[in-house]
Amino acid sequence: GDLLPADGVLIQGNDLKIDESALTGESDHVRKSLDKDPLLLSGTHVMEGSGRMVVTAVGVNSQSGIIFTLLGATGDDEDDGRDKKG
């Protein structure tokens, strides 16, 4: 049930199964391996196995960060539509 905090590429794995339902809506666990499907996405949960990955993206640059940005759910108050001068 560990949450992946960043996007990455699997470099070592042992019977790794990931719950990607938070991003894809698919309820089945996805088996990850070096030769078939090595991409790991932030916001997903490890359900079985173990592995190591090289981190490729974090924060707003990760897949879940991009989705949250597109939905306007970043919590960034930089541009809230009001004129801050007066």
Measured in degrees and rounded to the nearest 5, phi and psi for residue 65 equal -65, -40
Whole-model pTM: value is 0.76
What does the pLDDT read at residue 24? Answer: 86
**Three-state secondary-structure class, residue 60:** helix
Q: pLDDT for 40-53, tens place per residue?
A: 999 999 999 999 99
* Res 76 pLDDT > 80: no
Rounded CA-CA distance 75/18 in Å is 27
Give the Cα separation of 12 and 30 in Å (integer).
16
- pLDDT at residue 17 tops 90: yes
Which is more confidently placed, 72 or 29? 29
User: What domains appear along the chain, each with residue ranges and CATH number?
Assistant: 3-71 (2.70.150.10)
- Work out the end-to-end distance of the chain between its first and last CA atoms, rounded to an integer number of angstroms: 49
Q: Quick one: which H or E segment has residue 56?
A: strand 45-57
